[in-house]
Amino acid sequence: MPIWQSISIAAVAFYVMSKVVEGPFLEALDVLAKRMRLPSSVAGATLLAFGTSAPELSTAIVALFADGMHASTGVGSIVGSAIFQILVVVGFAAAVQASTLDWRPVLRDSVFYALSIVLLIGFVQDDRLTLVEAAVLVGTYVVYLLVMWSWARNVTEAEPNNVDQAPLRPDPRVSERPQSIGRRLVGAATWPVDRLVGLLPDAKTKPAWTLPVFALSLAVIGLACYWLVFAAEALAHALAVPPAIIALTILAGGSSVPELISSATVSRQGRGDMAIANAIGSNIFDVLVSLGLPVLLYCLLYGDLEGLGGATVVSSTLLLFATLIMVVGLLAAQRFRVGRPFGVFLVVVYAGYVVAAYLGWIG
């Protein structure tokens, strides 16, 4: 595939994804959260995390059941995405908008995330996953949902009062200053996507369309993410980028773009708790469901899953635990006040991780 074609596909896929996430997807999610009376952090850790983790779940299913794929690919993509989300997604959300977080949901999600990592470390040490182990992973997520259900009904969180001050869809009646030629060209190029997304019903004014819009948004996000990763891989191969860098950046980061966009969007709206809960909640979902559910189905059909990557997976999973301790420790040291320096630091740490893996310092 020519380089220009890869860049074009990646750009269109990213724009489609960002347009859907910032518009109909988050609008439908807000309506669902209000119907279910979910606090901001609970909605971010469950509904938002579920929606944005669809690419990781699809990747793991394909890796386990498609011909010519290897089990370690599915496990590796989950671990790589988790590292990307805890560092880059959290970091980017913090850099976009400074905020003071409620320490309670951060501690809540961090405890379950740590538990999921401990379970994964214990299960993969023998280089295989069994039916019982997969059932434990999925069952732990059910327990997590029960805790969230109880939390939503017994814990009162301080909700931001500026959520509705920044509408997700711009009002076309608002007059704008004359645009430059560059902006007009970009507007002309993105007009088809804007027009198609604009045809979707507004869940806030038409509540009956909430579930269909939410489901359709998930499908579009998953499809756009697939093409983004496909185009980015083609571009990386054309530029002779090493496979290790492709795995750590394209596969891990590409499948985490929905989390990146959604967390940045809600953070910009003043919902920092929801942004952080989305990042950590997505990791919980990835380890317990995106990995546990496909493995459970595989074990039911074919028996134990073997050949996970052994020591490499264990070392990467231990790194997940280390990044969690680092992020939570930094948050506590700052009294859960996050801003641009904190966000930039996390992104730099991830860049260092990529360089270390490329140089072979991380197995």
- The DSSP annotation for 12-51 comes to HHHHHHHHHIIIIIHHHHHHHHHHTT--HHHHIIIIIHHH
Judge if pTM exceeds 0.85.
no
Nearest to 252 by CA among 73, 99, 112: 73
Amino acid at 159: E
Q: Please give the structure tokens belonging to residue 243.
A: 């496979």
**Residue-by-residue pLDDT tens, the chain, 363 positions:** 678 888 888 788 878 877 887 788 878 888 888 888 888 788 888 888 877 777 677 767 766 776 555 555 556 667 777 888 899 989 988 998 888 888 999 999 999 999 999 998 888 888 788 999 999 999 999 999 999 989 988 887 765 544 443 444 444 444 455 566 766 776 777 788 878 888 888 888 888 888 888 888 888 877 877 777 677 767 777 777 665 556 556 666 666 777 788 888 888 888 888 888 888 988 899 889 988 898 899 899 888 888 765 555 677 778 888 999 999 999 999 999 989 999 999 999 988 887 877 776 765
Report whether 255 contacts 53 (CB < 8 A). no
Cα angle 234, 77, 86 (rounded to 5 degrees) comes to: 110
**C-beta neighbour count of 199 within 10 angstroms:** 7
Q: β-strands 337-338, 305-306: how paired?
A: unpaired
Q: Residue 162 contacts by C-beta under 8 Å, 6 or more apart in sequence?
A: 269, 270
- b or e along 19-47 (b: 16 or more beta carbons within 10 Å of the residue's beta carbon)? bbbbbbbbbbbbbbbeeeebbbbbbbbbb
State residue 175's pLDDT score. Answer: 44
Question: In this predicted structure, what is the pLDDT of residue 348?
Answer: 94
Give the pLDDT confidence score for residue 247 in this predicted structure.
Answer: 57
Locus of tokens 């993509």: 77
Angstrom distance (rounded) from CA 204 to CA 29: 10
Q: Which residues does 77 contact at the CB level (< 8 Å), separation at least 6? A: 56, 59, 60, 63, 247, 251, 252, 255
pLDDT for residue 291: 86
Q: Give the Cα separation of 290 and 6 in Å (integer).
A: 28
Closest CA to 263 of 276, 245, 251: 276
Residue-level pLDDT at 166: 40
CATH number of 3-164+181-358: 1.20.1420.30
The predicted structure's pLDDT at residue 112 = 93
**pLDDT given for residue 210 in this prediction:** 87
As beta bridge partners, residue 305 has 129
Amino acid occupying residue 28: A
243 by DSSP, 3-state: which?
A: helix
